[in-house]
Amino acid sequence: MSETVVKINNLVKRYKELIALDNFNLEIKKGEVFGLLGPNGSGKSTTMNCVLSLLSYDKGEVYLFGERMEPARYDLKSKVGVVPQNVAVFEELTVQENIEYFCGLYIKDKEKKKQYVEEAIDFVGLSDFRKFRPKKLSGGLLRRLNIACGIAHKPELIFFDEPTVAVDPQSRNKILENIVELNKQGATIVYTTHYMEEVEQICTNILIMDRGKSVAMGTSEELKKMIKNTENVVVDIRNLPEEKLEGLKKLHHVYEVNYMSDRLTIKCAGGRHNISHVISFFEQENIDYDRIYSELPTLNDVFLEITGKELRDKED
């Protein structure tokens, strides 16, 4: 059996009347890129802070690498790296000095620290910016500095919290490539994000949590099989009358129809010829359309069906 790196047993965390974690359980195996997903207020950040012993909890147990995690377990903390959502570096230090500082919290041997710092700088592609201070860096470079500071001491377990927020596509691609490479080098990754396409791209296992509980877990493909939606028929069409929407809803296997900004989305549960049925409907009703195509459900469809579509404004 694979070694368990993170194990959470019946974790409960209360903020007065609010239950942020409700007998929450989680197990992450060595070598996984584990996606931890949930809407705002679901408990993701609370979970991570409890795992890292940055936050006390009311009940339950947290184990890292098979040992009980407690605030004073600095030996366990030295095996963990954290890349927070908000860039956490010192503005008065250069790129290299920042990485040296964070690496030095865990690596005391000067020669080893020097080696690790150079490897971290090369890994995130900041060699040409080592003497820059953070305020001179672009958003993407800042994110890469944030990563270098979190992984320079070569942790075995790395938490990434929304690492690609507000960066350009090139920087996002570089960050994701770096995460996959860290995993190939042996690190276990815990990844939180609101970008579902990133989770589909890099995560080997995914847990969706809501209101402090685990509501679904599996690979991306396993999660897709848990929901009602099996196919989306998408049509680019202008000025579709309301009564025609009602007709589409009566088609076999159709359970939801959405029409907005000249884009019609027809959600189907089961069936093999749904797009043919839609085309036949348009022909019978003499309705012209620009384009029609079929899409398989995405992880975003899974997320919305499981957690609902209402807005969540509160934090985790």
Contacts of 260 (CB under 8 A, 6+ apart): none
- For residue 128 the two structure tokens come to 């040409």
CA atoms within 13 A on the CB side of 26: 32
Which alpha helices (DSSP H) does the chain contain, by range? 44-51, 74-77, 95-104, 110-124, 139-151, 169-184, 196-202, 220-224, 242-249, 274-284, 299-307
Say how many residues make up the chain. 316
Q: Quote the pLDDT of residue 310.
A: 77
Cβ neighbours for 241, distance < 8 A, ≥ 6 positions apart? none
Please give, one letter per residue, the 3-state secondary structure of 141-202: HHHHHHHHHHHCCCCCEEEEECCCCCCCHHHHHHHHHHHHHHHHCCCEEEEECCCHHHHHHH
Quote the CA–CA distance of 47 and 26 in Å, as a whole number: 10
CATH 3.40.50.150 corresponds to the domain 4-224:
no
Separation of alpha carbons 24 and 43, rounded Å: 10
Amino acid residing at 301: D
Look up the CATH architecture of domain 231-296: 2-Layer Sandwich (3.30)
Is the fold of 4-224 the same as that of 231-296? no
Domain assignments of the chain as residue spans, ordered by start:
4-224, 231-296
pLDDT at 1: 46
What's the pLDDT at 189?
A: 98
Print pLDDT tens along the chain (316 aa): 469 999 999 999 999 989 999 999 999 999 999 999 999 889 999 999 999 999 999 999 999 999 999 999 999 999 999 999 999 999 999 999 999 999 999 999 999 999 999 999 999 999 999 999 999 999 999 999 999 999 999 999 999 999 998 889 999 999 999 999 999 999 999 999 989 999 999 999 999 999 999 999 999 999 999 999 999 999 999 999 999 999 999 999 999 999 999 999 999 999 989 999 999 999 999 999 999 999 999 999 999 999 987 766 665 6
Q: Give me the helix-helix angle, 139-151 and 110-124, nearest 10°.
A: 150
The tens digit of pLDDT for each residue in 147-193 reads 999 999 999 999 999 999 888 999 999 999 999 999 999 999 999 99
Whole-number pLDDT of residue 57: 97
